[in-house]
Structure 1
Amino acid sequence: MSSKQGGKAKPLKQPKAKEKDYDEVDMANMQKKREEEKALKELKAKAGQKGAFGGTGLKKSGKK
């Protein structure tokens, strides 16, 4: 009861996506988005260097 097809079946190949034609408005929006992402990464890196924000709230003492 063995079949001739052994192993995993290969997935069908997807057709390659065509390059989209972008107009000036689309290009400007993409450039703006890239700049915002770059600024956000810089802010995250800067915040990561400083450590924790402000106070940590209520602190528990060792006393019971």
Structure 2
Amino acid sequence: MSGREGGKKKPLKQPKKQTKEMDEEDKAFKQKQKEEQKKLEELKAKAAGKGLLATGGIKKSGKK
């Protein structure tokens, strides 16, 4: 069975991506993202401490 080969074939190797140097805009953008992430985590921690705020769900009327 020289015409058929079983199993997976190995994918061709991709050339390694060159590490591009970060310019000032990229550095500023990364720093801004880190700061926003920290703010979000702080807000989540505050919200978790307070407990459930919106416990409404479906409101039922008092009428029967």
Q: Secondary structure at 1:17's aligned position in 2?
A: coil
Structure 2: how far apart are the matches of 1:30 and 1:19?
Answer: 16
- Using the alignment, how far apart are the partners of 2:12 and 2:41 within structure 1? 38
- Tell me whether 1:23 sits opposite 2:23 in the alignment: yes
Query: Match for residue 32 of structure 1?
Result: 32
Identity %: 58
Cα deviation per residue 1:10-30 (whole Å; 9 max; x = unaligned)?
222222111111122221121
Q: 1:16 to 1:45 in 2, by over 3 A?
A: farther
Q: TM-score, normalised by structure 2?
A: 0.63
Rounded Cα–Cα distance in structure 2 between residues aligned with 1:12 and 1:44: 45
RMSD of Structure 2 on Structure 1 (CA): 2.8
State the alpha-carbon separation in 1 of the partners of residues 50 and 17 from structure 2.
44
> Shift in Å at residue 56 of structure 1?
0.8
Gaps of 5+ in 2: none
CA shift, 1:57, in A, is: 5.2
- Listed as ranges, the matches of 1:47-62 within 5 Å are 47-56=47-56, 58-60=58-60
